[in-house]
Structure 1
């Protein structure tokens, strides 16, 4: 996906969240944790956890399992119901012998509480196409299945 012009986001909740996500590092996970309400829920294709400490553990695990992880927010919008949406790329290097650079494209749906803290962060991305298809044997099966199910 081509890089879009720098975001001109005027919502302070999103501006703060984007700044924290784009500069995320093991040493800044406390700032990430502070974004979330006590009852916050984080959902992605691998996790469904509640509470800031559990959400922090998801990101700690990310830093433990991949190299050079980095989020790049491409677009952001506030929805009519007060929720927000992000379009992002997640860049990282695999820990295989080739140290393959990878990029996952996804979106996030966010809901905020009255204090501007995140109540819901739900990520949407395709792990089959963006991760598993790169795995020997499994990848070939998934590609053939996707091709079989595609509209012709």
Structure 2
């Protein structure tokens, strides 16, 4: 089993990966993640390094100037939570920003085995889409006080 100091080091390196990722640097994450890493966000639920990489390549196809700013890391036992801001430009949405939280799990070797993103896709993405957004805004107005 890996000790807490090693997990914290891996978590810091993982956070730096996100802050510095470019299409050319995506493979640098390999040394930090397990072969069967599980990645979930509002759009994806994939397993394995290859699919993890595909998520990033797709991001670079869909948006321009994506940037992650890691705000802080917090711990609950051996579970790391990474709070972040994401910004980019998207041709249909314009300038786009999201604040989110990632739950990071580690395997026995201290590699990232799971990455679960939590952010409000309804507010930050779907509401901005022309037809879907109008429906979501209407539904939200009916549910709000």
State if a TM-score over 0.5 links the two structures.
yes
Q: Any idea what SS the aligned residue of 2:130 has?
A: coil
SS at match of 1:140: helix
Shift of 1:101: 1.1
* TM superposition shift of 1:67: 0.3
Taking the aligned partners of 2:48 and 2:127, their CA distance within structure 1 comes to 32
Pick aligned residue for 1:51 from 48, 51, 60: 48
Give distance in 2, aligned partners of 1:38 and 1:100: 35
- Aligned counterpart, 1:92: 88
CA distance in 2, matches of 1:140, 1:27: 38
Q: Hey, which of these two has a bigger chunk of strand by percent? A: 2
Partner of 1:104: 98
* Higher relative contact order, structure no. (Cα contacts within 8 Å, ≥ 6 residues apart): 2
Alignment match, 2:129: 135
Normalised to the residue count of structure 1, the TM-score between the two structures is: 0.85
Q: Which runs of 5+ in 2 are unaligned?
A: 1-6
User: Which residue does the alignment assign to 1:37?
Assistant: 34
Superposition CA RMSD, Å: 1.5
Partner of 2:15: 18
* TM-score normalised to structure 2 length: 0.89
Q: Name the CA distance, whole Å, in 1 between partners of 2:138 and 2:82.
A: 31
Give the number of equivalent residue pairs.
Answer: 139
Q: Which residue of 1 aligns with 2:4?
A: none
Question: CA–CA distance in 2 between the matches of 1:148 and 1:87?
Answer: 30
In structure 1, C-alpha distance between the alignment counterparts of 2:126 and 2:22, rounded to whole Å: 26
Over 4 Å off, 4+ runs: none
